[in-house]
């Protein structure tokens, strides 16, 4: 994939170093599978919206002419009806460490967070506290605020170090016999800090509560092993490292051992035991299908299939290794070439996801100006520039080009 000619301003030594990293990268050739973007110098926002794959263009066109036009409504019986669970099983195998029958693709992240969080607190009757952290993404916090008001529950907030993230000790201090649910992000959306998922899950279980993990910034970039780690419930989006496209549906994981106990509150016909019985009373489907409410977003699922195939081909361990190399290079470039900029992400690679947060008081202006010049990071208040590095579509040279242009915009 070639977007634009490289910047002539990049120093020769830095260009040579980036080129050497690209030459040694065993995943470099995967970049050619993505659609190029005219006028782009560097795309540093793959953790907000992944780039489209060339195969997806062909898949969408063939879908219109094939299952939609040729088979019409018959396609519901020929695959569409089972797509949420079938694709969920693929996602579970490729990126989540989840056995079949525990993952479903549906709705949006916000809707699934509501459905699963509400179901979790109802599954722990008599417990009156939900634990969450103040640094979590707004949707997670807003959903919990609504559920707490709706159910008359207390929200107990953990205030972590914004650059270190929530620790197992902080969770242990917050939970107790009154706790129904703990909701945390595996990878912090600002700092990129990776929480100790296995240890925190054990702490929550020791208190008798359920834990809901937000996987939006880890699915497809950080290896997960939900079954082995005893995770109860998880939710994530598919438009970041899974490259599902704008508005692509979210996914939910519900451990097999909880599926008979947890009942989600949005009782739609597609989650019924027999959707076409059209009966007078709702009877939930057995298993993971009960999490579905309305008509599956069949078209929205199509791009995910291409990216999951690509991730499976490359392997999650290799994806993670490339991610660590990219984020390490971003930190190196910031330290050496961005005067006055502070790295606000973990330097320990074991605690760092696939993005790096940089901090500077002028970054709101810098991000706006960099977009005009074909370098696309994103801004996070109050003064953070987030460098999102999707391993299969990002090169080291692209990263160097982007941060060097940002350097030119600093005062």
Same domain, 279 and 162: yes
174 shares a domain with 250: yes
Q: Mean pLDDT in the chain?
A: 96
The whole-angstrom separation of Cα 313 and Cα 304 is 14
Within a domain: 351: yes
Active site residues: 137, 214, 239-240, 386
- Longest alpha-carbon distance in the chain: 73
Beta strand ranges found along 174-244 (DSSP E)? 179-185, 210-214, 233-236
362 and 299 together in one domain: no
Band the pLDDT of 9: cuts 50, 70, 90: confident
Residue where a domain terminates, one of 294, 311, 328: 311
pLDDT band at residue 7, thresholds of 50, 70 and 90?
low
Q: Does residue 158 belong to any structural domain of this protein?
A: yes
* CATH number, domain with residue 256: 3.40.640.10
Q: Are residues 282 and 181 in the same domain?
A: yes
Q: Do the beta carbons of residue 371 and residue 398 sit within 8 Å? A: no
Q: Give yes or no: residues 105 and 212 share one domain.
A: yes
- 361 domain residue, yes or no: yes
Within a domain: residue 123? yes
Q: Is 90 exceeded by the pLDDT of residue 352?
A: yes
| pLDDT for 182 beyond 80 | yes
Q: What is the DSSP string of 118-187?
A: HHHHHTSTT--EEEEETTS-HHHHHHHHHHHHHHT-EEEEE---TTT---HHHHHHH--TTEEEEEEESB
Spatial separation of the C-alpha atoms in residues 181 and 184, rounded to whole Å: 10
- The answer to whether residues 48 and 103 belong to one domain is no
pLDDT of 124-160, one tens digit each?
A: 999 999 999 999 999 999 999 999 999 999 999 999 9
Does the pLDDT of residue 4 top 80, yes or no? no
In this structure, is residue 89 part of a structural domain?
yes
Tell me which residue range forms the domain holding 405: 12-53+315-409
- What's the pLDDT at 30? 98
Coil, strand or helix at 269:
helix
Residue at a domain's end among 287, 311, 335: 311
Shared domain check, 257 and 194: yes
**Above pLDDT 90, what percent of the chain?**
96
Q: Say whether both 161 and 288 belong to one domain.
A: yes
Domain count, the chain: 2
Residue 65 included in any domain? no
What pairing do the DSSP bridges indicate for beta strands 42-43 and 355-359? unpaired
Asked whether the whole model's pTM tops 0.85, one would answer: yes
CATH number of the domain where residue 404 is located: 3.90.1150.10
Is residue 267 located within the same domain as residue 156? yes
Q: How far is it, in rounded angstroms, from Cα 363 to Cα 316?
A: 33
366-395 pLDDT, tens digit per residue, is 999 999 999 999 999 999 999 999 999 999
> Over the stretch 243-271, which tens digit does the pLDDT of each residue have?
999 999 999 999 999 999 999 999 999 99
Task: Give the angle subtended at the CA of 238 by the CAs of 286 and 93, to the nearest 5°.
Answer: 55
Give dist(CA 108, CA 155) in Å, integer: 23
236 phi and psi angles, rounded to 5 deg: -160, 165
Q: Residue 3 — pLDDT band, cuts 50, 70, 90?
A: low
Q: Are 107 and 32 part of one and the same domain?
A: no
**What's the pLDDT at 279?**
87
Give 52-121 as a DSSP string: PBHHHHHHHHHHIIIIIIIIGGGGGTTTTTTHHHHHHHHHIIIII---TTSEEEES-HHHHHHHHHHHHH
Residues 328 and 282 in one domain: no
- Which of 277, 294, 311 marks a domain boundary? 311
At residue 179, the pLDDT reads: 98
pLDDT in tens, 194-222: 999 999 999 999 999 999 999 999 999 99
Please tell me the distance from the alpha carbon of residue 89 to that of residue 168, in angstroms, as a whole number: 30
Whether residue 63 is contained in a domain is answered as: no
pLDDT for residue 6: 53
Whether residue 124 is contained in a domain is answered as yes
Residue range 267-286, pLDDT digits in tens:
999 999 999 998 899 999 99
**Whether residue 270 sits in one domain with residue 300:** yes
Q: 22-77: per-residue pLDDT in tens?
A: 999 999 999 999 999 999 999 999 999 999 999 999 999 999 999 999 999 999 99
Q: Are 183 and 154 in contact (CB under 8 A)?
A: no
């Amino acid at each position: 994939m070639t977007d634009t000619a490289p910047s002539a301003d990049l120093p020769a030594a830095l260009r040579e170093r980036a080129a050497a990293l690209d030459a040694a990268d065993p995943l470099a050739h995967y970049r050619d599978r993505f659609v190029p973007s005219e006028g782009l110098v560097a795309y540093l926002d793959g953790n907000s919206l992944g780039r489209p794959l060339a195969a997806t263009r062909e898949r969408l066109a063939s879908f219109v002419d094939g299952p939609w036009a040729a088979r019409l409504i018959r396609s519901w019986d020929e695959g569409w009806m089972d797509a949420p669970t079938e694709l969920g099983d693929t996602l579970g195998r490729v990126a989540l460490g989840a056995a079949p029958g525990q993952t479903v693709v549906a709705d949006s992240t916000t809707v699934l967070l509501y459905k699963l969080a509400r179901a979790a607190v109802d599954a722990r009757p008599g417990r009156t506290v939900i634990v969450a952290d103040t640094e979590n993404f707004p949707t997670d916090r807003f959903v919990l605020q609504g559920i707490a008001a709706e159910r008359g529950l207390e929200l107990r907030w953990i205030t972590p170090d914004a650059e270190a993230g929530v620790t197992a000790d902080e969770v242990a201090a917050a939970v107790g016999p009154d706790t129904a649910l703990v909701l945390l992000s595996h990878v912090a959306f600002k700092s990129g800090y990776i929480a100790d998922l296995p240890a925190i899950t054990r702490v929550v279980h020791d208190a008798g509560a359920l834990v809901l993990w937000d996987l939006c910034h880890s699915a497809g970039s950080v290896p997960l092993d939900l079954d082995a780690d005893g995770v109860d419930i998880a939710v994530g989006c598919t438009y970041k490292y899974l490259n599902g496209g704008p508005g692509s549906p979210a996914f939910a994981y519900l451990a097999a051992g909880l599926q008979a106990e947890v009942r989600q509150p949005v009782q739609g016909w597609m989650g019924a035991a027999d959707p076409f019985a059209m009966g007078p009373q709702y009877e939930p489907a057995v298993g993971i299908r009960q999490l579905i409410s309305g008509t599956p977003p069949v078209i929205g699922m199509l791009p995910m299939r291409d990216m999951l195939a690509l991730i499976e081909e490359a392997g999650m361990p290799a994806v993670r290794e490339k991610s660590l190399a990219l984020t390490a290079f971003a930190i190196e470039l910031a330290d050496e070439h961005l005067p006055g900029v502070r790295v606000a992400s973990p330097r320990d690679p074991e605690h760092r996801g696939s993005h790096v947060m940089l901090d500077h008081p002028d970054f709101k202006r810098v991000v706006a100006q960099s977009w005009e010049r074909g370098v696309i990071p994103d801004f996070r208040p109050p003064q953070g520039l987030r460098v999102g590095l999707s391993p299969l579509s990002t090169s080291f040279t692209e990263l160097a080009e982007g941060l060097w242009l940002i350097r030119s915009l600093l005062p």
